[in-house]
């Protein structure tokens, strides 16, 4: 049985959901998995869920099926570094590097399957446009 604590999965930059890069370039993005209240930004780890697995999915060309392309583990609290406020913690944060090998438009999203304490979550969609020309 999945937990009933509401979870939120924020992916990428909350100010834009579309990015353009060139073929062969890397796109580094991240997000935060949190509980209780929605994060204010992708840097808001005040209610982050530590050591959780998030899956990165790309939308197939059929426009209906999502395929897992990567898996990341959220960061655990950095209290061992004597950080005293939750606002200074990175708990729940994760990063991912995407490198599509062909030009095209790639919608991505993240999912969290939940556990006995936290409910499953699905992120917003971030669209990555890949061109044949390098973007500087």
Where along the chain do its domains lie? Answer: 7-131
- List Cβ neighbours of 116 (8 Å cut-off, separation of 6 or more): 1, 2, 3
Please report, to the nearest 10 degrees, the dihedral formed by the alpha carbons of residues 101, 13, 120, 47 taken in order: 140
Is residue 114 within 8 A of residue 6, CB to CB? The reply is no
Q: What is the share, in percent, of the chain residues with pLDDT greater than 70?
A: 83
Closest CA to 7 of 92, 129, 106, 101: 92
pLDDT in tens, 121-132: 999 898 899 998
- The correct answer on CATH 2.60.40.10 for the domain covering 7-131 is yes
Looking at per-residue pLDDT, the higher value among 72 and 39 belongs to 72
Q: What is the pLDDT of residues 33-62, one digit of tens each?
A: 999 888 877 777 788 899 999 999 999 989
């Amino acid at each position: 049985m999945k937990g009933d604590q509401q979870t939120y999965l924020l992916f990428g930059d909350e100010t834009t959901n579309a990015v353009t890069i060139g073929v062969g370039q890397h796109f580094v993005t991240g997000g935060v998995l949190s509980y209780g209240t929605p994060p204010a930004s992708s840097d808001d780890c005040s209610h982050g869920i530590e050591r959780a697995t998030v899956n990165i999915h790309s939308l197939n060309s059929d426009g209906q099926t999502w395929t897992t392309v990567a898996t990341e583990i959220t960061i655990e609290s950095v209290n061992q570094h004597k950080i005293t406020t939750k606002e200074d913690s990175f708990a729940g944060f994760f990063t991912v590097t995407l490198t599509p090998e062909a030009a095209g438009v790639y919608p991505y999203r993240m999912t969290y399957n939940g556990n006995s304490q936290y409910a499953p979550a699905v992120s917003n969609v971030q669209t990555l446009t890949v061109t044949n020309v390098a973007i500087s």
